[in-house]
């Protein structure tokens, strides 16, 4: 596979782990959230506040489907799996690795839930979002990496790299 795609909930460490993996593997790194902001000319939270969740998911799907890269670690937004065409495109680009982080750990990590740019419907909690997305992450993942609570992200990056090597990547 040419690319490694890190999926998981907001706060799972996709971007930080992605940079560390890319350095360790000699790959490029691409953060889809930054691509969305560049394409839309607005911050993620501004898109959500101004246009709504569905418009945000449309913008995310368009950004994901525009990807055509090689030897890249890709960190899509946590909601990329919510649109089937986006998730299928990611599957075609390379191996999808689901960073499975517990709800308790995510709650500890995310301090700015209302301003972080998370695609959530009004009234939804982080637990609601996780309950909806976890089956989707698992559906599209070629590799699931369970991330222990309290583990620092560079340790998680080493764990992912080890699991990739064992999987022949």
pLDDT digits (tens, 9 = 90+) for 4-16: 999 999 999 999 9
Domains of the chain as residue ranges with CATH: 3-164 (3.40.50.300)
List the beta bridge partners of residue 145: 99
Average pLDDT over residues 130-154: 93
pLDDT, residue 116, reads 67
* Higher per-residue pLDDT: 6 or 168: 6
Q: What is the pLDDT of residues 96-122, one digit of tens each?
A: 999 999 999 998 888 776 666 688 888
**C-alpha to C-alpha distance for 57 and 60, rounded to whole angstroms:** 5
Q: Are 47 and 59 in contact (CB under 8 A)?
A: yes
Q: Which residues contact 117 (CB under 8 A, 6 or more apart)?
A: 33, 43, 44, 45, 47, 48
Banded model confidence at residue 124, pLDDT cuts 50, 70, 90: confident
């Amino acid at each position: 596979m040419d690319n490694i795609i890190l999926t998981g909930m907001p706060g799972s460490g996709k971007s930080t782990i992605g940079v560390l993996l890319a350095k360790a593997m000699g790959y490029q790194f691409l953060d889809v959230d930054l691509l969305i902001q560049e394409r839309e000319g607005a911050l993620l939270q501004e898109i959500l506040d101004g246009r709504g969740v569905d418009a945000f998911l449309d913008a995310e799907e368009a950004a994901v489907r525009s990807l055509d890269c090689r030897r890249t670690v890709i960190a899509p937004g946590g909601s990329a799996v919510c649109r089937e065409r986006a998730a299928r495109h990611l599957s075609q680009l390379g191996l999808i690795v689901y960073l499975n982080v517990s709800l308790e750990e995510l709650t500890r990590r995310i301090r700015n839930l209302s301003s972080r740019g998370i695609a959530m419907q009004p009234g939804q909690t982080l637990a609601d979002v996780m309950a909806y997305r976890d089956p989707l992450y698992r559906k599209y993942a070629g590799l699931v990496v369970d991330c222990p609570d309290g583990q620092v992200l560079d340790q998680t990056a080493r764990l992912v790299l080890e699991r990739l090597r064992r999987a022949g990547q």
